[in-house]
Amino acid sequence: PPVRRILSVRVHDVTLAEALELVEAFIAEGGSHQVCTVNPEFIMHARRNPDFFRVLEGSSLNVPDGVGLLWAGRMLGQPLRERVAGVDLMEALIARAAERGWRVFLLGAAEGVAERAAKVLQARYPGWVLAGTFAGSPRPEEAPAIRERLQEARPDLLFVAYGAPQQDLWIARHQPALRIPVAMGVGGAFDFIAG
C-alpha cells in the first residue's frame, strides 16, 4: 500500500478491507510481520523515542488509527483514505480467524481481562482457536517466561495489550525469534472488548 509520512512517521494508506487482505497474505507467507496502529499519540512518541521510530520504520503494516491522522494527512499533503481503528482491525481479524481456523494468542492487560475478551470474541465469532492468554508485563525480566508460553502455544496471530510504545517495542524485540506470522499491538482493546 502507499506509504505516507505524518511528521516523518510512516503510515500506510490502507482501508480496513485492504489491511485484512494483507494480514491474510502475511499469515499465508509465514515469517514474522508486525502490525502497528498509528494514532496521534504514536506520532508524538516516535518523535521523542528513536527506538520506537525504528520499529515503525521496520514494521510490515502501519494502519492509520484515528481521524486526527486523516486530518493531519490532509493538511500535510499525505492523504489517507480511511481510519482503521486498532480495535476494529482486531475484531475483523478475529472474524477472519474464525473462517480460517487461525490460532490466536491474547497477551497483556490486567489479570483476567484477556480471558474475558476471549470469551466475548468466541461468542461473537465462533470457530477461531484460542492458543492462549496471559497478562504478564513488558518488563524484560518477564520476557523469557512469556516467550516460553508463546513457543508452546504456536499462535498464527498475536495481539499484545501493553500500551504504546511498550507493546510495539516488545513485539519488535521478541517476535522474529518466535516466528509468529503476525503480531499487533492493540493498546486498550482487550479492556474495551471485555467491557
Residues that bind ligand UDP (CB under 6 A): 108-110, 137-138, 161-164, 187-188, 190-191
Residue 194 CA to residue 178 CA, distance in Å, equals 27
CB of 44 to ligand UDP, least distance (A): 12
- Other beta carbons within 10 angstroms of residue 165's beta carbon come to 23
Q: Please, which residue, 70 or 109, has the CB nearer to ligand UDP?
A: 109
CB of 78 to ligand UDP, least distance (A): 22
Residue 73 CA to residue 55 CA, distance in Å, equals 21
CB of 128 to ligand UDP, least distance (A): 21
CB of 72 to ligand UDP, least distance (A): 18
Give the residue nearest to ligand UDP (CB). 187
Q: Please, which residue, 8 or 137, has the CB nearer to ligand UDP?
A: 137
CB of 12 to ligand UDP, least distance (A): 19
Q: Please, which residue, 68 or 163, has the CB nearer to ligand UDP?
A: 163
- DSSP assignment of 132-163, as one string? EEE---S-GGGHHHHHHHHHHH--SEEEEES-
Q: Please, which residue, 36 or 98, has the CB nearer to ligand UDP?
A: 36
Q: Please, which residue, 111 or 152, has the CB nearer to ligand UDP?
A: 111
CB of 176 to ligand UDP, least distance (A): 22
Residue 194 CA to residue 7 CA, distance in Å, equals 34
Q: Please, which residue, 98 or 184, has the CB nearer to ligand UDP?
A: 184
- CA-closest candidate to residue 64, choices 35, 93, 91, 44: 35
How far is CA 27 from each of CA 66, 136, 170, rounded to the nearest angstrom?
Answer: 25, 25, 20
Amino acid (one-letter) located at 72: A
Coil, helix or strand at residue 187: coil
Q: Are 104 and 179 in contact (CB under 8 A)?
A: no
